[in-house]
Amino acid sequence: MFLLIFLLIPIIAAVFLFIVKKETSSNAIAISAGLLTLLGAVYIAVNKIDNFDATWLLSINSRFVLQADGLAKILVLLTAISFPAIFIATQKNQIQNKNSFLGLMLLTQAGLMGVFLAGDALLFYFFWELALIPVYFLCSIWGGEKRIAITFKFFIYTFLGSLFMLIGIILVYSNTPDHSFLIESFKHASLTNGQQLAAFALFFTAFAIKMPIFPLHTWQPDAYEQSPTAVTMVLSAVMVKMGLYGVIRWLLPLFPAAAASHAHFVIVLSLIGVIYASFIAIRQDDVKRLIAYSSIAHIGLMSAALFTNTSIGMQGVLVQLFSHGINVLGLWIIADVLEQQTGTRSMKALGGLAKKQPTLAILLVGFAFANIALPLTNAFVGEFLMFNAIFQFNPWMAAIAGVSVVLAAIYTLNMVQKIAYGNISEATSAMSTPNKSAQAVLIVLLVIVFITGVYPQPLFNMTADTLHQLFVK
């Protein structure tokens, strides 16, 4: 029951925001709903929560099941941290129709948390789509100049992917022993080799588009660039995790044989994406695009580690899911502050931030270190484990993946150098007083970065049960 109420908090707040016309208190409502959810998420993370289970569609035997295991906990926690952080950091941004904007954001949050908590395939599909629809409106109404066409591309891509997944779900469902959508019965579905392969391909397409894996990534940089920054934060901090989550929750446990036989194929694709995105990131001048490509590279590495099918790789990914979200969120908030105050995203035009706003510059350096995965930062823990797993799988692939760390250092430090150092540029000199609320959020996030970097044990403990389920038979 707790899980249902927890899921309803953002929905109720969103409905409330849609009904209320006054815009004076909209920020306060959204932030308090976000913080309330965060409180719930922390409670879920440290306690053992009973599943919520209710009948839903009797005739096809689909149930409304919410369950919180380690994987769900860590992603719900990430979601619950991200949204209030975004609300607080961007509360000063000028947005028309703020109520609708925040309401749609809260609906997105509900959809995302539903995806992570769902224990029934059809329910999972439902939330999967529900998370997408508000984002479609958010990006198309409040995005940049080319928003309509770009968002539509993004929408069609992911919608097509999810339709493939729907066929996969129907295929597995029709072969389950008790004709049920529960994940347990899905695991016991008796599929022939051909069917398993087909279902694997169908599910994988949906997840690969969402992550995204090369060559299905083409929607992403444009979508990140054209979306309003608050939505970009959601997309890259939380939404891409839906793809990785899907692989861990559904793909690997349901089709182990097909996953094992196609591991090479997927890992090679992922690594191509990693290297390719890193090189493109080096050439970027736009801060948003740079972070977008850097994010593709990091996600690619995670997907490669997942398909090594080793417990160490899985452990690394489970931690990295959380860490990557926090780091990229920090970078986006800094990019947003810069854009809001200087009016530009071009790194050529920026410079001298360290002299103008030293605090922000220090925070930028902190998150840049996390992005390169230097020791002491949270990303080091996850990436170390992931490289270890890839090395066990194939040393050559580990060598290629290792190049990405060097490339990450090049583009990240290049960005820091251009933005923070040098003389104060024209754009930077236009910056007004520091954005206190954004800086407060950034400091909290940076504290999380270093705490989980030095002492990641709580994250390991939280996800221990998922790991146990997947690798101890």
Residues engaged in binding other proteins (CB under 8 A):
56-60, 125-126, 129-130, 133, 137, 140-141, 147-148, 152, 155-156, 159-160, 163-164, 166-167, 170-171, 173-174, 198
Query: How far, rounded to the nearest angstrom, does the alpha carbon of residue 158 sit from its chain's CA centroid?
Result: 15
What is the residue-wise DSSP string for 218-275? THHHHHHHHS-HHHHHHIIIIIHHHHHHHIIIIIHHH-HHHHHHTHHHHHHHHHHHHH
Q: Where are the alpha helices (DSSP H) in 58-146?
A: 70-89, 98-117, 121-142
Give the single-character DSSP code of 422.
S
Least Cβ distance, residue 92 to other proteins (angstroms) = 25
* Nearest to other proteins of 4, 399 (CB atom): 4
Q: Which residues, 6 or more positions from 58, have their beta carbon under 8 angstroms from its beta carbon?
A: none
* Nearest to other proteins of 141, 263 (CB atom): 141
CA angle 380-386-390, nearest 5°?
Answer: 140
What sign does the dihedral 117-119-123-129 (CA atoms) show? positive
Least Cβ distance, residue 170 to other proteins (angstroms) = 5
Q: Which two tokens stand for residue 298?
A: 């990091």
Least Cβ distance, residue 321 to other proteins (angstroms) = 25
Least Cβ distance, residue 127 to other proteins (angstroms) = 9
Give the single-character DSSP code of 211.
T
* Nearest to other proteins of 128, 411 (CB atom): 128
* Nearest to other proteins of 151, 388 (CB atom): 151
* Nearest to other proteins of 199, 292 (CB atom): 199
* Nearest to other proteins of 160, 447 (CB atom): 160
Least Cβ distance, residue 56 to other proteins (angstroms) = 8
* Nearest to other proteins of 18, 384 (CB atom): 18
Least Cβ distance, residue 208 to other proteins (angstroms) = 16
Write the CA distances from 449 to 132, 330, 414, 445, integer angstroms.
28, 10, 21, 6
* Nearest to other proteins of 6, 126 (CB atom): 126
What is d(CA 471, CA 473) in angstroms, rounded to the nearest whole number? 6
Write the CA distances from 472 to 46, 252, 262, 310, 467, integer angstroms.
23, 14, 22, 11, 8
* Nearest to other proteins of 125, 219 (CB atom): 125
Q: Which two tokens stand for residue 22?
A: 């006054």
Query: Burial level of 211, CB count in 10 A (0-12/13-18/19+)?
Result: buried
Separate counts of helices (H) and strands (E) for the chain: 23, 2
* Nearest to other proteins of 173, 293 (CB atom): 173
Contact indicator for 352, 422 with CB cutoff of 8 Å: yes
Least Cβ distance, residue 260 to other proteins (angstroms) = 22
Least Cβ distance, residue 356 to other proteins (angstroms) = 37
Least Cβ distance, residue 133 to other proteins (angstroms) = 7
For the chain, helix, strand, coil in percent to 5 are: 75, 5, 20
Least Cβ distance, residue 324 to other proteins (angstroms) = 28
Q: Which residues, 6 or more positions from 55, have their beta carbon under 8 angstroms from its beta carbon?
A: 63, 64
